[in-house]
């Protein structure tokens, strides 16, 4: 009951104070996260004034416009590599969620220049355009693959760079109101490009392909991530990297839940893949605090100044937050997560 009252207090604060009357932008709005985030923010209880979306495909924008059916939605056909277009789209916006990215490990590996131009140059453009037009807060969406990326995982390398940029840009806006942070998490069950849709398609043929029988991954549902990233936007003061508390499982356990009768075929690890993913490295542990709802990785220095970080408990030195050792989900827990 006490937890319910606390959650209700947070909800009232969030809906009636922080978000009320604000103008928000989402890059990559037609992706899985952008779509889910849009649906949540356009609920009446948030009472936002405008939602700006930026993405490249007008066909997907037509689908989203019809799906949402809200006059507050303003969609710009544009590319994060076009900073002038970003400045136009972000004019008058207070909060930005930067979700646009080339997210596939194998696609990034075979298209390295595109991965760099979208995920790194595109992020620079979003951060700079936000500073130029006076956006108040920017959350850069990252990934567990940003932590100690494998040598052939260019996607992870670009996300690590995006995190560095999100922290460093606070110095560039020291005399301005714009502040930046990053949020990293693991695999979102059912999102585009995740293994769940692949397994569901493959089970029709009675055979699922896995890369290694000991591989583990962090798992999270889309509703959980939507509420997490909203909390990040509310809580940030600039320069942090936020990481949620996530469970993990073997990929074979997920396969058994989705298609218990199917045959499992081991096809080998792809370029850039790791056996286990990491959400927090040992090097980050001395500057990481457990906030209860998330971990906060603080920067080594803050030349931009500002109010100090507060709250949270230190994590053990040299601690590693790995899918190999995180809280392990069984088949029943995975079934519940898959139901959403």
User: Are the beta carbons of 120 and 161 closer than 8 angstroms?
Assistant: yes
Based on the residue annotation, tell me whether 231 is a catalytic residue of this protein.
no
Specify the pLDDT at position 195.
87
Choosing among 2.60.120.260, 3.40.50.720, 3.40.228.10, 3.30.70.890, the CATH entry for 2-188+220-244+281-322 is 3.40.50.720
Tell me the domain boundaries of the chain: 2-188+220-244+281-322
Separation of alpha carbons 166 and 123, rounded Å:
8
Distance separating alpha carbons of residues 115 and 132, to the nearest angstrom: 25
pLDDT at 340: 66
Q: What separation, in Å, do the N-terminal and C-terminal C-alpha atoms of the chain show?
A: 24
Residue located via tokens 């320069």: 239
In this prediction, what percent of the chain has a pLDDT beyond 70?
A: 94
Q: CA quadruple 246, 248, 251, 257: dihedral positive or negative?
A: negative
pLDDT of 89 > 50? The answer is yes
pLDDT digits (tens, 9 = 90+) for 13-57: 555 689 999 999 999 999 999 999 999 999 999 999 999 999 999
The model's pTM: 0.92
Output the pLDDT for position 306.
87
Check 39, 57, 145, 176 and give the catalytic one. Answer: 145
Mean per-residue pLDDT of the chain: 92
Name the token pair of 253. 């356990």
Name the least confident of 117-121, 190-194, 283-287.
Answer: 190-194
pLDDT in tens, 214-235: 999 999 999 999 999 999 999 9
Residue 7: exposed, middle, or buried by beta-carbon count in 10 A (0-12, 13-18, 19+)? exposed
């Amino acid at each position: 009951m006490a937890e319910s009252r606390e959650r209700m207090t947070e909800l009232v604060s969030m809906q009636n104070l922080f978000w009320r009357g604000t103008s928000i932008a989402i890059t990559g709005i037609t992706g899985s996260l952008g779509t889910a985030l849009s649906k949540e923010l356009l609920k009446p209880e948030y009472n936002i004034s405008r939602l700006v979306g930026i993405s490249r495909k007008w066909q997907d924008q037509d689908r989203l416009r019809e799906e949402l059916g809200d006059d507050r939605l303003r969609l710009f056909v544009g590319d994060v590599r076009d900073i002038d277009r970003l400045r136009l789209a972000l004019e008058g916006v207070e909060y930005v969620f930067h979700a646009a990215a080339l997210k596939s490990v194998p696609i990034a590996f075979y298209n390295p220049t595109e991965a760099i131009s979208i995920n790194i140059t595109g992020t620079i453009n979003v951060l700079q355009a936000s500073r130029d037009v006076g956006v108040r807060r920017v959350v850069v969406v990252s990934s567990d693959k940003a932590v100690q990326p494998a040598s052939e995982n260019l996607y992870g390398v670009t996300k690590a760079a995006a995190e560095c940029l999100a922290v460093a840009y606070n110095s560039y806006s020291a005399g301005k109101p714009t502040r930046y942070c990053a949020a990293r998490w693991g695999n979102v069950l059912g999102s585009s490009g995740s293994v769940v849709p692949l397994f569901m398609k493959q089970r029709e043929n009675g055979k699922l392909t896995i890369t290694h029988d000991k591989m583990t991954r962090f798992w999270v549902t889309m509703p959980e991530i939507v509420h997490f990233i909203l909390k990040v936007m509310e809580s940030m003061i600039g320069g942090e990297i936020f990481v949620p508390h996530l469970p993990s499982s073997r990929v074979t356990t997920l396969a058994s839940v989705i298609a218990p009768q199917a045959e499992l075929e081991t096809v080998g690890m792809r370029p850039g893949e790791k056996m286990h993913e990491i959400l927090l490295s040992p090097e980050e542990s001395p500057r990481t605090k457990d906030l209860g709802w998330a971990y906060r990785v603080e920067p080594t220095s803050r030349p931009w100044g500002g109010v100090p970080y507060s709250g949270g408990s230190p994590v053990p030195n040299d601690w590693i937050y790995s899918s190999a050792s995180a809280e392990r989900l069984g088949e029943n827990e995975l079934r519940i997560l898959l139901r959403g």
